[in-house]
Amino acid sequence: METINLSKNQEKAIQRSAETLLSGGIVIFPTDTVYGIGALPTFPSAIKQIFKLKNRPTSMPLPLLLSEAKQISSVSSYRSQTMDQLTEMFWPGPLTLIVPDVMPAISKSLNGQETIAVRCPNHDFVRELVTRTGPVATTSANLHGQPTALTLAEIVKSFEAVELGIDDGECDHGTASTILDLAKPYPEILRKGPISAIQISQILEKQNSG
């Protein structure tokens, strides 16, 4: 695995990561929560390889990282006031939203799923990378069912076959993002994380009272 130190070579890290993804490769990189392993959804073979490397069940689709809230329109036609308020309050940050109405091209490349998980991370490197490449299908860079890794050094042994790794020391949160399902009749938290149920409820209550 080629590794690049982000703090010493930021532009090189972004450029090499973009080149690798745009050529159908896989990259391991830091986010604001944990290290992720990602590929572009337009390369199904790379997506399949991520599932294989992680021993991740194919019934668990990969979320997409976005550079900004506006980029949701490139992967889903879903719109709601709830979504707008949540993204305005918590993006960029550790909140993943599951939305319906996935664009056909994205759905086809991600096993025909009808919903998709999206997040805009609070990490300058990732947002700049995604600005250059488009949405990146990403999951935590650990074997399925194992603890998440906080440093690239912890990851390399399990993912030596990956072409490129970006080293940024220890990730800020060390906890995977909160997942909120907006595709259900009422928003439901599917995974607890840095954004608490109380914080989310305050936004939902404001909308309902308005």
Closest CA to 35 of 175, 158, 197, 185: 175
Q: What is the pLDDT of residue 105?
A: 85
The residues facing 38 across adjacent strands are 27, 138
Distance of CA 176 to the CA centre of its chain: 10
Q: What is the pLDDT of residue 80?
A: 95
Q: What is the pLDDT of residue 103?
A: 92
Q: What is the pLDDT of residue 173?
A: 65
Closest CA to 7 of 122, 94, 92, 123: 123
The model's pTM: 0.94
Distance of CA 186 to the CA centre of its chain: 23
The residues facing 95 across adjacent strands are 178
Q: What is the pLDDT of residue 66?
A: 99
* Distance between CA atoms of residues 104 and 91, nearest Å: 25
**188 phi-psi bin (left φ>0, alpha ψ -120 to 50, beta other):** beta
**Domain residue ranges of the chain, discontinuous segments joined by +:** 2-209
Check if CATH label 3.90.870.10 holds for domain 2-209: yes
Q: What is the pLDDT of residue 209?
A: 66
* Distance between CA atoms of residues 181 and 108, nearest Å: 21
Q: What is the pLDDT along the chain (210 residues), one digit of tens a residue?
A: 999 999 999 999 999 999 999 999 999 999 999 999 999 999 999 999 999 999 999 888 899 999 999 999 999 999 999 999 999 999 999 999 999 999 988 887 777 788 999 999 999 999 999 999 999 999 999 999 998 888 999 899 899 999 999 999 998 767 889 999 999 999 999 999 999 999 999 988 877 765
